[in-house]
Amino acid sequence: MAIAVPKRRPALRSLAQRPWLTRLIVIAVLFALWEVAARFLVDPLFLSPPSQVIASLDKVFDTRGVPAALQLTLFELTVAFVLAVAIGLALGLAIGLQPLVRRSFFPIVLLLYGMPQVTILPLFILFFGIGAASKIAFGVTHGVFPVIVTVVAGVQNLKPILLTGARSMGASRWQIFRHVIFPHMVPSFFAGMRLAMSGVLLGVLLAELYVSIAGIGYFTTLFTQNFDPTKLLGLIGVLAAMAIVLNAVVRRAENHFARWRAE
Amino acid sequence: MAGRGASRLIQAGFLAGLVVVWYLATTRWGVNRLLLPNPVAVYDNLSDILRSGEFIGDLETTLGELAAAFAISATGGITLGYLISRSRYWIEVFEPLFAAVYSIPIILFLPLFVLFFGLGPASKIALGASISFFPIVINTIAGFGHVDRLFVTAARSMGASDYHLFRHVLLPAASPVILTGLRMGFTTALLSIIGSETLASLAGLGHRIVHLAEAMEMARMFAYIVFVIAIAVTLNAVVSRLEAHGKRD
């Protein structure tokens, strides 16, 4: 008995083999819905269609102060990231290498990591002022904890046999650190850097949105209060793109340096 | 080898030392009271707040926003996650999309929500729901998507209907991962709501802290900060306990 198999139309078949294509179509459909809703259903004071947003991007950049604000925000992000990684690495090594220190201070670190830091945002502004310093500081406090935690974990997960082997071959403490502990910790460290980048992005952007005199937070407030959803969406789009690029860079670095990981 | 006692002692000593330094800094060493309030004043304000019940209005606002946001994101996330997880193809289409959006700090969209919904609770609920939606849906897809095919085949061969399959096979198998997603969603919702109240709001705990900061009432602000941290820690502990309880078995 011949079983009738329904012949899939060729177009659907090629879609079924290419999920990435369907993904693009889904995104296109969402954009289309946004376009229709913004044009016909929602008051233009509150929402702009994507066509208008993209067309007006040059006007966003022409607004006096926006390019400088974007540069300032990028500067704050970079400085905060470098500081968070450096401080996190130093503290992580200090805490992770000595068992007694680790047992005493790691719980405190975890407690601080879980604290809702956004409650002390006004405090940071009072302490550091409304300039770039408070944004950098708030970014650092968000980014430093993942680095500490991952560095401590990386140092701890060392197989004892590696340490015994190195010591039995007469390695000094410095040599053990440089050739056994440090390379072993690097993959975790890079994972920590990826989390640090997310944290720094969150911290700096939160502080910017709270109070800003020359950063992008100033302009998001300006566009909101002027009921200018076109420029607001354009600016948010640029910032979102910046966040995606920064995250991708750190993720690439992590994949590159973690390649030799033994699992 | 130093035992657990030594580390506990160091912890206690460290924390006690911090409080002592704080006290000395404000009373003896002349740190400006406008920067760092006296710990005794903070304690007095805290007991005053708790006794007078001044916190109740703001607490109600914040918790109400949290409940609404989490309800929306939990039902939406689990439903959408289940529907997507029914087909391997749609999992492959949607999962990277959700992961990519989750990597952007969605707090960026707060000005848009404020423009759209105003300064009231609606914008906070919308933002909280948007942010907490993603860990829930991602974890739900992972949970339902990775159920061992053997269970499904066995149940179907015994004649299980769609409903039976869902209730007795899929749901129990996926629930640990889904519960983790719900916990993550709850925590992020709480953080986002307090954050958005700090940034742009007329009421709620976050707004109260900002209000006191602008009035330079440092001791009372510190008291509220301690209060909010205590609430957040308690809620997180409760949710973690629920998650662990749900995973038991």
Residue A68 has pLDDT above 70, yes or no: yes
pLDDT confidence of residue A84: 97
d(CA A138, CA A135): 5
> DSSP letters along B72-139, please?
HHHHHHHHHHHHHHT-HHHHHHHHHHHHHHHTS-GGGGHHHHHHHH-SSHHHHHHHHHHHHHHHHHHH
Contacts of A115 in chain B (CB under 8 A): 229, 232-233
pLDDT confidence of residue B194: 94
Contacts of A99 in chain B (CB under 8 A): 1-2
Q: Which two tokens stand for residue A241?
A: 């793109």
- What ipTM describes this predicted complex? 0.85
pLDDT confidence of residue A259: 65
Residue A40 has pLDDT above 70, yes or no: yes
Residue A75 has pLDDT above 50, yes or no: yes
d(CA B67, CA B90): 30
pLDDT confidence of residue A180: 83
What CATH code is carried by the domain that includes residue A129? 1.10.3720.10
pLDDT confidence of residue A101: 87
Q: Which two tokens stand for residue B36?
A: 């760092």
Domain spans of chain B, in order of start: 2-31, 51-248
pLDDT confidence of residue B109: 92
Question: By the CB < 8 Å criterion, does A70 face chain B?
Answer: no
Question: By the CB < 8 Å criterion, does B32 face chain A?
Answer: no
Contact present, A84 and A139 (Cβ < 8 Å): yes
Interface of A with B in 169-228 (CB under 8 A): 198, 201-202, 205-206, 209-210, 220-221, 223-224, 227
Domain count of the fold of chain A = 1
B84, B103, B214: best to mutate for the A interface, most A CBs within 10 A? B103
pLDDT confidence of residue A188: 87
pLDDT confidence of residue A85: 96
A131: left (phi over 0), alpha (psi -120 to 50) or beta: beta
Residue A262 has pLDDT above 60, yes or no: no
Interface of B with A in 176-215 (CB under 8 A): 190-191, 194-195, 198-199, 206, 209-210, 213-214
A171 contacts: CB under 8 Å, gap ≥ 6: A179, A180
**Helix H or strand E encompassing A25:** helix A19-36
The one-letter amino acid code at A229 reads: P
Find the CB nearest A233 among B112, B206, B233.
B112
Least confident of A16-20, A84-88, B177-181, B232-236: A16-20
Q: Which two tokens stand for residue A221?
A: 């407030």
The residue of chain A nearest to residue B105, with distances taken between CA atoms, is A202
pLDDT confidence bin for A263, thresholds 50/70/90: very low
The 3-state DSSP class for residue B215 equals coil
pLDDT confidence of residue A170: 86
The share of chain B scoring above pLDDT 70, in percent, equals: 98
The share of chain A scoring above pLDDT 90, in percent, equals: 40
A18: left (phi over 0), alpha (psi -120 to 50) or beta: beta
pLDDT 10s digits, B94-142:
988 898 888 889 999 999 999 889 899 999 999 999 999 999 999 999 9
d(CA B135, CA B99): 9
Nearest to B170 by CA among B193, B152, B192, B194: B152
* More confident: A156 or A133: A133
The whole-angstrom distance between residue B16's C-alpha and the CA centroid of its chain comes to 29
Contact at CB, B115 and A232, closer than 8 angstroms: yes
Contact at CB, B107 and A19, closer than 8 angstroms: no
pLDDT confidence of residue A185: 85
To 10 degrees, what angle do helices B171-199 and B218-247 make?
170
pLDDT 10s digits, A173-218:
888 888 888 888 888 888 899 999 999 999 999 999 999 888 899 9
The residue of chain A nearest to residue B225, with distances taken between CA atoms, is A119
Residue A8 has pLDDT above 80, yes or no: no
The residue of chain B nearest to residue A109, with distances taken between CA atoms, is B11
Contacts of A19 in chain B (CB under 8 A): 89, 92-93
d(CA A13, CA B29): 76
pLDDT 10s digits, A99-143:
888 888 998 898 888 888 999 999 999 889 999 999 999 999 999
d(CA A256, CA A239): 26
The one-letter amino acid code at A23 reads: R
The residue of chain B nearest to residue A219, with distances taken between CA atoms, is B111
pLDDT confidence bin for B1, thresholds 50/70/90: very low
Question: By the CB < 8 Å criterion, does B158 face chain A?
Answer: no
Has residue A137 been placed in a domain? Answer: yes
The residue of chain B nearest to residue A127, with distances taken between CA atoms, is B35
Residue B69 has pLDDT above 80, yes or no: yes
d(CA A92, CA A106): 9
The residue of chain B nearest to residue A236, with distances taken between CA atoms, is B108
Q: Which two tokens stand for residue B60?
A: 């109600």
A8 contacts: CB under 8 Å, gap ≥ 6: A16
Shortest CA gap A172–chain B (Å)? 22
Interface of B with A in 90-149 (CB under 8 A): 92-94, 96-97, 100, 103-105, 107-112, 114-116
Nearest to A89 by CA among A177, A140, A149: A149
d(CA B200, CA B196): 6
d(CA A155, CA B1): 19
**Span A143-153, mean pLDDT?**
93
* More confident: B49 or A17: B49
pLDDT confidence of residue A43: 85
Has residue A195 been placed in a domain? Answer: yes
Question: By the CB < 8 Å criterion, does A38 face chain B?
Answer: no
Residue B162 has φ and ψ, to the nearest 5°, of: -55, -45
Contact present, A95 and A148 (Cβ < 8 Å): yes
- What's the mean per-residue pLDDT of chain A? 87
Contacts of A118 in chain B (CB under 8 A): 191, 194-195, 198, 206
pLDDT 10s digits, B170-210:
888 898 999 999 999 999 999 999 999 999 899 999 999 99
**Helix H or strand E encompassing A66:** helix A66-97
Per CATH, the homologous superfamily of domain B51-248 is MetI-like (1.10.3720.10)
Has residue A183 been placed in a domain? Answer: yes
Contact at CB, A223 and B7, closer than 8 angstroms: no
pLDDT confidence of residue B223: 94
> DSSP letters along B163-189, please?
HHHIIIIIHHHHHHHHHHHHHHHHHHH
Domain that holds residue A125: 68-211
